Structure 1
Amino acid sequence: MLKVEDINVYYGNIQALKGVSLEVNEGEIVTLIGANGAGKSTLLKTLSGLLKPKKGSIQYLGKPISGKAAQTIVKAGISHVPEGRRVFANMTVEENLELGAYLRSDKNEIKKDLDKVYEVFPRLQERKKQLSGTLSGGEQQMLAMGRAIMARPKLLLLDEPSMGLAPLFVKTIFKVIQEINQSGTTILLVEQNANMALSIADRGYVIETGKVVLSGTAAELQESDDLKQAYLGGH
């Protein structure tokens, strides 16, 4: 579904990605693991059109998308839930969700998807008329994910969905990620919580200082001694 080959991305003179290559197959959950500043968020921003690679190629469903506008990429079926949630604080929960479907015109289907989001996140339904800025961090994360689902993506890019959330919320978010995947959406997940990410992923890539240093199935990575020491708390 997604094929990234040898991409190099810079912020000014600083090289953030140094020849990253990876693949995501249809139906998978693939996770990117790495320390802060390793380049994981940069990679997602590049895939969603927010950053342009200096060299290398990105193919989605067999077509090149590197350097295309973010809106074109959303239209093609890729949704990005950025780090830090970024909901529209002075709009209601429902208005935020409807905004997720701004490129769609199938009114009846949009209504069905809204109902589906409320089914997955009952808390959002309870608060649908509330201003989004008044929600807790966990609720804002639910809203950001719900809004992305409203675009009916084929591929969902999730950046640190569990960051700063209480453990109970983290469990809920991961359960929902699995449900979204089982309903037919492929997922590329960036996550600090390597144990949790690998527990639901099919495969993973480890990124260090802008390079992929390790890749394999989730089970292989969970067994890797290097990974255990660096990211899995040494167990």
Structure 2
Amino acid sequence: MLKVDDIDVYYGNIQALKGLSLEVNEGEIVTLIGANGAGKSTLLQTLSGLQKPKRGSVEYLGESIAGKAAQSIVKAGISHVPEGRRVFANLSVEENLDLGAYLRKDKEGIAKDLAHVYELFPRLLERKKQQSGTLSGGEQQMLAMGRAIMAKPKLLLLDEPSMGLAPLMVQNIFTIIETINKEGTTILLVEQNAHMALSVANRAYVLETGKIVLAGTAKELQESDEVRAAYLGGL
């Protein structure tokens, strides 16, 4: 579904991604783990059109999307849940969700997907008229995910969905990630909580200073001494 081949991405003179290549197959959950500053968010921003690679190619469903405008990438079926949620704080929960469907014209489909988002996240239904800026961190994460789902993506990019959340809420968010995937959405997950990420993923990549240093099935990486020592607390 997604093929990233040998991309270099820069911020000014600083190289953030160095010859990075990876693949995501339809129906998978693929996770990208790595320390802060490894380039994980930069990769997702590049895939969603917010950064442009200086070199290399990005193909989605066989078409080149490197350097395309962000809105055309959303239209093609890729939604991005950014790090830090980025909800529209002064708008209500429901207004945020409506914005997720801004490129869609199918009113019946939008209404159906809105009802489904409220099924996945009952807390959002309870707070649908509430200003988004007054929600807890966990509720804002649910809203950011719900908003992305409203675009009806084929591929969902999730950037640090568990960041700053209480353990019970983290468990809840990961259960919903698995549900979304089982319903047919392919997921590329960036996550510092390597233990949780590897527990839901099919395959995983380890990113260090802009390069992929390890790749394999989630099980292989869970059992790797190197990954255990660096990311799983030596478990």
1:142-194 deviation per Cα after TM superposition (whole angstroms, max 9, x unaligned): 00000000000000000000000001110010000000000000000000000
Match of 1:42, SS state, is: helix
Q: What is the identity, as a one-letter code, of the residue corresponding to 2:42?
A: T
1:77-110 deviation per Cα after TM superposition (whole angstroms, max 9, x unaligned): 0000000000000100000001000000000110
User: Counterparts in 2 of 1:97-112, with a 5 A limit?
Assistant: 97-112=97-112
Structure 1 alignment gaps of length 5 or more: none
Distance 2:23 2:201 in 1: 14
Q: What is the identity, as a one-letter code, of the residue corresponding to 1:66?
A: A
Distance 2:109 2:43 in 1: 32
User: Counterparts in 2 of 1:154-169, with a 5 A limit?
Assistant: 154-169=154-169
Match of 1:26, SS state, is: coil
Distance 2:110 2:4 in 1: 31
Distance 1:130 1:149 in 2: 20
1:100-136 deviation per Cα after TM superposition (whole angstroms, max 9, x unaligned): 0000000011000000000000000000000000000
Shift in Å at residue 42 of structure 1? Answer: 0.3
Corresponding residue of 1:234: 234
Distance 1:168 1:122 in 2: 16
Distance 2:64 2:55 in 1: 13
User: Counterparts in 2 of 1:1-80, with a 5 A limit?
Assistant: 1-80=1-80
Corresponding residue of 1:93: 93
Q: What is the identity, as a one-letter code, of the residue corresponding to 1:170?
A: V
Corresponding residue of 1:126: 126
Match of 1:90, SS state, is: coil
Aligned-residue CA RMSD (Å) = 0.3
Distance 1:180 1:120 in 2: 9
Distance 1:214 1:197 in 2: 15
Q: What is the identity, as a one-letter code, of the residue corresponding to 1:233?
A: G
User: Counterparts in 2 of 1:182-193, with a 5 A limit?
Assistant: 182-193=182-193
Distance 1:89 1:17 in 2: 32
Structure 2 alignment gaps of length 5 or more: none
Percent identity of the aligned residues?
80
User: Counterparts in 2 of 1:189-208, with a 5 A limit?
Assistant: 189-208=189-208
Distance 2:145 2:63 in 1: 26
Shift in Å at residue 28 of structure 1? Answer: 0.0
Corresponding residue of 2:84: 84
Match of 1:108, SS state, is: helix
Match of 1:177, SS state, is: helix
Q: What is the identity, as a one-letter code, of the residue corresponding to 2:167?
A: P
TM-score by length of 2: 1.00
1:53-83 deviation per Cα after TM superposition (whole angstroms, max 9, x unaligned): 0000000000100000000000000000000
Corresponding residue of 2:210: 210
Runs of 4+ in 1 over 3 A off after TM superposition: none
User: Counterparts in 2 of 1:128-143, with a 5 A limit?
Assistant: 128-143=128-143
Match of 1:37, SS state, is: coil
Corresponding residue of 1:171: 171
Distance 1:109 1:82 in 2: 24
Corresponding residue of 1:220: 220
Alignment length, in residue pairs? 235
